[in-house]
């Protein structure tokens, strides 16, 4: 059985160094004093450039921070990075980690502590993989957002707004501060659809959602339950404050929406409010809010009623 290490002749050593030098991987060897003893072209291009030394690990990091090359340093404090890195640099025989460079590339670094105490690092370019990972993550986030969003109005859809209400109950915040739910319904919406068509009806729903978002100014969470019905979740609002808020929306609400056909179509809304009590859950709270909405409709519409 040949000893391939001791059998290496000068020609093989030359070709080995040539292969390492031209390798697309970033190869470096540091001695026991953390002085750079070998770096191939890829590694030099990443961390050294025209730097002429001294080639110690800390000084290479300082050089990179000064000229804008090498690893990206969060916060820009290279001395903190050096201190943090040196304390962990030789704690284990083998480790692997990813690092991003100032130029936007990502490398997967494998570091080995040799029996001599020298450090061998080999880095592989994973930039394409990171970009693919980012694309997949963005696609996942977009799909998740789409699954939670009503396509017509851009508001949280039924599933999402009910989840947000459930979250309030699950967290128990309604036990220490008020929580109200308001069901809002566009008045005589069926007549709008029947008279002017569904495109005009869709325009009314979009107009209502846009106007409410502007008037709410981040107060509460508004979502579309379906059809012409919306749910407003109001953490921290009692019934009196909720009534004032919704009536304020009505007072500031634009009186008409411009349809696709260029004419103005007046419309109004009714609302029912219920404030959560200790025994409430989502179902009972919404049942009471819906009953208050029914009362508002029965009393002539275009008004808000509060459940007892």
Q: Annotated active-site positions, please?
A: 228
Q: Which two tokens stand for residue 119?
A: 């450090």
Instruction: Kindly state the DSSP code that residue 300 receives in the 8-state scheme.
Output: T
Reduced to 3 states (helix: H, G, I; strand: E, B; else coil), residue 41 is helix
Q: Taking phi first (over 0 means left), then psi (-120 to 50 degrees means alpha), and beta for anything else, what does residue 152 get?
A: alpha
d(CA 52, CA 54): 7
Exposure string over 175-214, b if 16+ CB within 10 A, otherwise e: eeebbbbbbbbbbbbeebbeebeeebbebbbebbbeebee
d(CA 68, CA 236): 49
What does the CA dihedral 217, 222, 223, 224 come to, rounded to 10 degrees? -90
Strand partners, 270: 185
Angle in degrees, 0-180, between the axes of helices 78-88 and 57-67, rounded to the nearest 10 = 150
């Amino acid at each position: 059985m040949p000893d391939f290490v001791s059998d290496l002749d000068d020609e093989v050593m030359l070709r080995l160094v040539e292969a390492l030098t031209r390798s697309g991987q970033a190869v470096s060897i540091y001695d026991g004093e953390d002085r750079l003893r070998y770096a191939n072209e890829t590694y030099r291009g990443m961390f050294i450039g025209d730097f002429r030394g001294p080639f110690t690990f800390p000084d290479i990091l300082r050089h990179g921070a000064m000229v804008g090359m090498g690893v990206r340093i969060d916060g820009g404090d290279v001395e903190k990075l050096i201190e943090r890195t040196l304390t962990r640099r030789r704690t284990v025989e083998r480790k692997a980690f990813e690092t991003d460079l100032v130029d936007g590339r990502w490398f997967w670094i494998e570091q080995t502590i040799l029996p001599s105490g020298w450090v061998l690092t080999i880095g592989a370019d994973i930039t394409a993989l990171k970009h693919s990972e980012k694309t997949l993550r963005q696609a996942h986030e977009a799909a998740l957002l789409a699954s939670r969003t009503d396509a017509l109005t851009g508001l949280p859809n039924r599933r999402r707004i009910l989840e947000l209400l459930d979250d309030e109950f699950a967290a128990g915040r309604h036990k220490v501060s008020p929580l109200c739910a308001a069901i809002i319904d566009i008045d005589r919406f069926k007549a709008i659809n029947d008279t002017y068509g569904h495109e005009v009806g869709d325009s009314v729903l979009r107009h209502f959602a846009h106007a409410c978002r502007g008037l709410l100014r981040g107060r509460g969470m508004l979502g579309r339950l379906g059809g012409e019905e919306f749910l407003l979740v109001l953490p921290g609002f009692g019934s009196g404050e909720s009534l004032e808020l919704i009536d304020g929306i009505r007072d500031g609400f634009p009186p008409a929406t411009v349809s696709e056909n260029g004419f103005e179509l007046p419309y109004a809304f009714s609302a029912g409010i219920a404030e959560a009590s200790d025994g409430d859950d989502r179902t009972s709270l919404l049942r009471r809010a819906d009953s208050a909405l029914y009362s508002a409709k029965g009393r002539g519409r275009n008004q808000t009623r509060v459940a007892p």
